[in-house]
A and B are shown apart, each in its own frame.
Chain A
Amino acid sequence: MDIFIKIAGALQDWLMNGMGLSVTASELIATAVWALVAILFILVNLIILVWMERKLGAFFQMRRGPNRLGPAGFLQFPVDIVKVLGKEDIIPAAADKPIYKIASICAFVTTICAFAVIPFAKGMVLEDLNIGIFYFIAIGSTATLSLLMAGISSNNKYSFIGGMRTVAQMISYEIPMAFSLLGVVMMAGSLRLTDIVEAQQNMWFVIPQAIAFIIYFVATIAETNRGPFDLAEGEQELVAGYFTEYSGIRWAIFFIAEYGNLVAVASIATIMFLGGWNAPFGLTFLPPFLWFMIKVYCMIFMFMWVRWTFPRIRIDHLMHFGWKFLIPVSIANIMVTGIGIYVYRMITN
Chain B
Amino acid sequence: MFGQGLIKGLGITFGHLFEKKITQQYPEERPVLPERFKGSFSLRVPKCIACGLCSNACPNNVIKIESEKDENNKKKLTGYKMMAERCLYCGFCVEACPTKALLWNHNFERAKFFREDVNLDLFNSYVPSPEDEKPAKPEKEEETAKPEKEEETAQAS
Asked if B6 and A310 make an inter-chain contact with CB atoms under 8 angstroms apart, the answer reads yes
Asked if B19 and A305 make an inter-chain contact with CB atoms under 8 angstroms apart, the answer reads no
A93 interface contact, C-beta 8 A: no
Q: What total of A-B pairs shows CB separation below 8 Å?
A: 33
User: Per-residue 0/1 for A300-317: is the Cβ within 8 Å of any B Cβ (1 yes, 0 no)?
Assistant: 000001101110000000
Q: A64-B21, A64-B23 are in contact. Are A306 and B10 (CB under 8 A)?
A: yes
Asked if A62 and B6 make an inter-chain contact with CB atoms under 8 angstroms apart, the answer reads no
Chain A binding surface, main DSSP class: loop
* Bound CA–CA A346/B32 (angstroms): 74
Q: How far is the CB of A34 from chain B (nearest CB, A)?
A: 37
Asked if B10 and A61 make an inter-chain contact with CB atoms under 8 angstroms apart, the answer reads no
B22 interface contact, C-beta 8 A: yes
* Bound CA–CA A61/B12 (angstroms): 10
Partner of B21, one of A56, A62, A305: A62
Q: How far is the CB of A269 from chain B (nearest CB, A)?
A: 18
* Bound CA–CA A22/B99 (angstroms): 99
Asked if B19 and A62 make an inter-chain contact with CB atoms under 8 angstroms apart, the answer reads yes
A63 interface contact, C-beta 8 A: yes
**Chain B residues, CB < 8 A from A305:** 10, 13-14
User: Per-residue 0/1 for B2-25: is the Cβ within 8 Å of any A Cβ (1 yes, 0 no)?
Assistant: 000010011011101101111101
Q: A62-B22, A63-B23, A64-B23 are in contact. Are A56 and B9 (CB under 8 A)?
A: no
Q: How far is the CB of A324 from chain B (nearest CB, A)?
A: 13
Interface size class of A (residues with CB under 8 A): 10 to 19
Q: How far is the CB of A188 from chain B (nearest CB, A)?
A: 28
**Chain A residues, CB < 8 A from B13:** 60, 305, 308-309
* Bound CA–CA A308/B12 (angstroms): 11
Within residues 1 to 51 of chain B, which ones have a CB less than 8 A from any CB in chain A? 6, 9-10, 12-14, 16-17, 19-23, 25
**Chain B residues, CB < 8 A from A64:** 21, 23, 25
Residue of B nearest to A56 (CB): B17
**Chain A residues, CB < 8 A from B14:** 305
A59 interface contact, C-beta 8 A: yes
* Bound CA–CA A310/B14 (angstroms): 12
User: Per-residue 0/1 for A46-81: is the Cβ within 8 Å of any B Cβ (1 yes, 0 no)?
Assistant: 000000000010111111100100000000000000
Partner of A60, one of B6, B17, B25: B17
Q: Point out residues on A near B: beta carbons under 8 Å.
A: 56, 58-64, 67, 305-306, 308-310
Q: With A59-B21, A60-B16, A309-B10 given, can you name 9 additional A-B contacts, CB distance below 8 Å?
A: A58-B21, A59-B17, A60-B13, A60-B17, A61-B16, A63-B21, A64-B21, A64-B23, A306-B10
Q: Which 10 A-B pairs have the closest CB atoms?
A: A309-B13, A64-B23, A60-B13, A59-B17, A64-B21, A62-B22, A309-B9, A63-B23, A62-B16, A60-B16
